[in-house]
Amino acid sequence: MKNITLLSLALLVFLSSCDDDLDDNLIPAENIEISDFVYRGLNYWSLYKEDVPELANDFFENDAARFDYLSQFSSPEATFDALTSTRDRFSILRDDYVALENSLAGIRTSSGLNLSLLIMPNDPTTAFGVVRYVVNDSPADLAGAERGMIFTLVDGQPLTSGDGQAIDGSTNFNSFFAPDSYTIGLATYDGTDFTTTGEEIVITKTELTINPVHTVNVLSVGGNEIGYLHYTGFTNEFDSELNAAFAEFRSAGVTDLVLDLRYNGGGSIETANDLSTMITGQFNGEEFITQEYNADRNQANEFVRRFNNNLGSGDDGPAINSLGLTRVFVLTTGRSASASELILSGLDPYIEVIQIGTNTVGKFEGSFLLYDAPAPNFRRSEANPNHRYVMLPLVLKSVNANGLTDYFDGFTPDLLIAEDFENFGQLGEQGEPLLDAAIDVILNGRSSTNYNTSIQRSIYDSEQEDPLYQRMMVDRIDL
């Protein structure tokens, strides 16, 4: 069996090197061919390589022994699972790199509706939905969906597990939101019971380019000019829009900034670096973070990222619009991860970072795309044309200027305030509890206000379907 497998693999390699037009003569990849790509990529770049004995450079005597090991797995996904450390909560393998590349550019098949499901207070077998925010000018926005809306029906059906059992973290709600079009049936809640209103909103998906600069506002409160930014993802294609928001803040004479990352699961490390400079500006050339790799790769790849007053990694990009602040207020929840946490970590050695909300996820590791191509770069331009599998493994960890890393448990807020679906408020406006808490500190150094600390556990978040949910990316591989 081993010899047959090796012969098949050799034949595939030979055929893929021929001069035929591969678009016309596509040779479907075999499982072991893709599994070998998974092995090679993780053996070379995995941050937690030392945790997996099979990834050790001397574990297999020869290629035949490695192929024999890989042949036991029924799919590339099974291989990936077997070769991923238990410490690794975020590495992914996908079978279509085009979709993943689009996600990196902010392009999604989406309605623009960001929602969460919670278990009904008096019925553990049923869930209800709440709209957390709506992407500007998206189909959901145009259909009239708004933050704070409550719904109990999807396409006329209640949100249940279908078997009458209590809902838990394993209950799958994907089928409710998978269709390209569905309706949500709105409801009200009086503190005890939900009542359907009879109103339905049609939610339709389309290919959507999402600008993460969602809400920009300047509030004049008590003689203070307070900037507010709701930022939903570190997407570097929109760095100019982010920089423009800070130009608006600077023009308005903003003296305090509330950076709302409560629904921001991460993205580009470079954008996080630039955003930190937008907030400050007085630390040009100082260390932002250091990127550390596995023992095999670190000596050649360890990299210190520094505050830089130009967009991008060089000195020739557009000038960053910096505010020169010595403190910043960051709003977080259990959906704030990765590059969002990098703001907390990277700025902490330099300015006062006041975190308001609930605990963050705890992701300090970064990734870049690996295609089925030769090491070390595993480049898109050299990818095996017989399949579209791609990996986004954890390859580095961030270490701040004070040596902080490995914050697996996330960051604990200075002011614990949980979102309450009964009192959501509007993002960027007074009356929204997390923003009000920041304003309270600005005006009063914090009053005796009692905040809601009862965390309502979400059992489903729409953003968890995003291929880049809670990822932190480094620009390393040419697409």
User: 461 pairs with which residues across the strands?
Assistant: 116
The reported pLDDT for the residue numbered 1 is: 37
- Tell me, what DSSP letter sits at residue 465? G
Pairing mode, strands 113-120 and 267-268: unpaired
Q: DSSP 3-state assignment of 352? A: strand
Give the range among 32-46, 383-397, 400-414, 462-476 with minimum mean pLDDT: 462-476
How high is the pLDDT of residue 476? 53
Position 315 scores a pLDDT of 80
Q: In a 3-state reduction of DSSP, which class is residue 320?
A: coil
Task: Report d(CA 443, CA 64) in Å as an integer.
Answer: 69
Output the pLDDT for position 120: 94
Average pLDDT of span 369-389: 95
* Residues 66, 42: Cα–Cα separation, whole Å: 14
Q: What is the pLDDT of residue 161?
A: 81
Helices (H), 158-237: 174-177
Indicate the pTM of the whole model: 0.89
Average pLDDT over residues 275-303: 97
pLDDT tens track for 197-249: 999 999 999 999 999 999 999 999 999 999 999 999 999 899 999 999 999 99
Q: Which two tokens stand for residue 438?
A: 């920041």
Place of tokens 């809400």: 215
Using one digit for the tens of pLDDT, what is the confidence trace for 137-163? 999 999 999 999 999 999 999 999 877
What gap in Å lies between CA 97 and CA 315, rounded to an integer?
A: 31
